[in-house]
Amino acid sequence: MRVIETVAELRAALQPSRRAGRSIGLVPTMGYLHDGHLALVTESVAACDVTVVSIFVNPTQFAENEDLSSYPRDPDRDLALCREAGADIVFLPGVDDIYPAGFQTYVEPGALAEPLCGAFRPGHFRGVATVVAKLFNMVQPDTAFFGQKDFQQVAVVRQMARDLDMRLAVVSVDTVREDDGIAMSSRNAYLDATERRRARCISRGLFAARRAFEAGERDAARLLALAREPLSEMDSVQYVELVDAATLQPVTGAVERPAAICVAGHIGNTRLIDNIGLDIEGSRTVRDAA
């Protein structure tokens, strides 16, 4: 496994593979890797000849009051995990490699970036789309792998790739959960033991709603009520919404097309998000641990 820090070196390292027609997979991450990230690496290693993992805590997707400076980092551990998972290249650029002096061009996503997290994190998806577009240009992967936990991010990135004629497949991989149902997230590291226990309420509500959906319940309000009920254990709920999986717009009345219930809020000072798919065609079901 090679560890590469500059864009020039990355392009040079990938050129022979590209010339030889070998397929390239990209797993973009912000590091502090957990089993959710490693599932993406494993998918890429299985599907592609060469797997590149990028590790970059992207400043442009954090607002002023967010956790950029405290975002957890452990590059040595990340490298060991990537090696173990079979990655070929880890790209570890510095901020100046991605945003050199004079940088001024951004990717502005459209309507898919407006609801849900977009309403609470102004500029977040602009930062995500910009860095992901840059990583796509640097690596030129055939396939890029993203976690379904970031449901809206996957939708925004897919739309960007379509709109900007990026020639690659965007694959989303099921959320990996702890045994007690909590979705894996680098931010879980912020939780103390009591908060960690309280955080279970998010997946508990989502699983309850999905069980009802699988038993035939189609009324969006009733499904939402099931997801919302345990969230009284959270310190704040930013949103709990049942949205159309394609448009991310709220569903009212009956759920008749693939949909998802999405939640965001705080346990203590930690912002957590999670979601569950309701009959999302082609997606594998999330392991129900609650």
Residues that bind ligand PAF (CB under 6 A): 28-30, 58, 61, 128, 131-132, 150, 153
Q: Where are the beta strands (DSSP E) in the chain?
A: 2-4, 24-29, 50-55, 89-91, 143-147, 169-173, 236-244, 259-267, 270-278
C-beta of 29 vs 207, nearer to ligand PAF: 29
C-beta of 29 vs 203, nearer to ligand PAF: 29
* Catalytic residue from among 34, 37, 124, 266: 37
Could you tell me if 183 and 201 are in contact, meaning their C-beta atoms sit under 8 angstroms apart? no
- Distance from C-alpha of 277 to C-alpha of 183, rounded to nearest angstrom: 14
Residue 153's alpha-carbon distances to 46, 129, 188, in angstroms, are 23, 9, 19
Could you tell me if 186 and 75 are in contact, meaning their C-beta atoms sit under 8 angstroms apart? no
C-beta of 42 vs 224, nearer to ligand PAF: 42
- Distance from C-alpha of 107 to C-alpha of 225, rounded to nearest angstrom: 36
How near is the Cβ of 195 to ligand PAF at its closest, in Å?
A: 22
Quick one: which of 156, 169, 171, 56 has its CA closest to 107? 156
Active site residue 34: no
C-beta of 125 vs 213, nearer to ligand PAF: 125
Q: Which residue has the tokens 């709109």?
A: 163
| Pair of tokens at residue 58 | 């992207």
How near is the Cβ of 149 to ligand PAF at its closest, in Å?
A: 9
User: How many CA atoms, within 13 angstroms, populate the side-chain half-sphere of residue 270?
Assistant: 18
C-beta of 142 vs 150, nearer to ligand PAF: 150
Give Dmax (Cα) for the chain: 56
12: left (phi over 0), alpha (psi -120 to 50) or beta: alpha
- Distance from C-alpha of 244 to C-alpha of 105, rounded to nearest angstrom: 31
Residues recorded for the chain: 290
How near is the Cβ of 194 to ligand PAF at its closest, in Å?
A: 27
Side chain identity, residue 170? V
Could you tell me if 52 and 27 are in contact, meaning their C-beta atoms sit under 8 angstroms apart? yes
C-beta of 54 vs 203, nearer to ligand PAF: 54
How near is the Cβ of 208 to ligand PAF at its closest, in Å?
A: 27
Q: Catalytic residue numbers?
A: 37
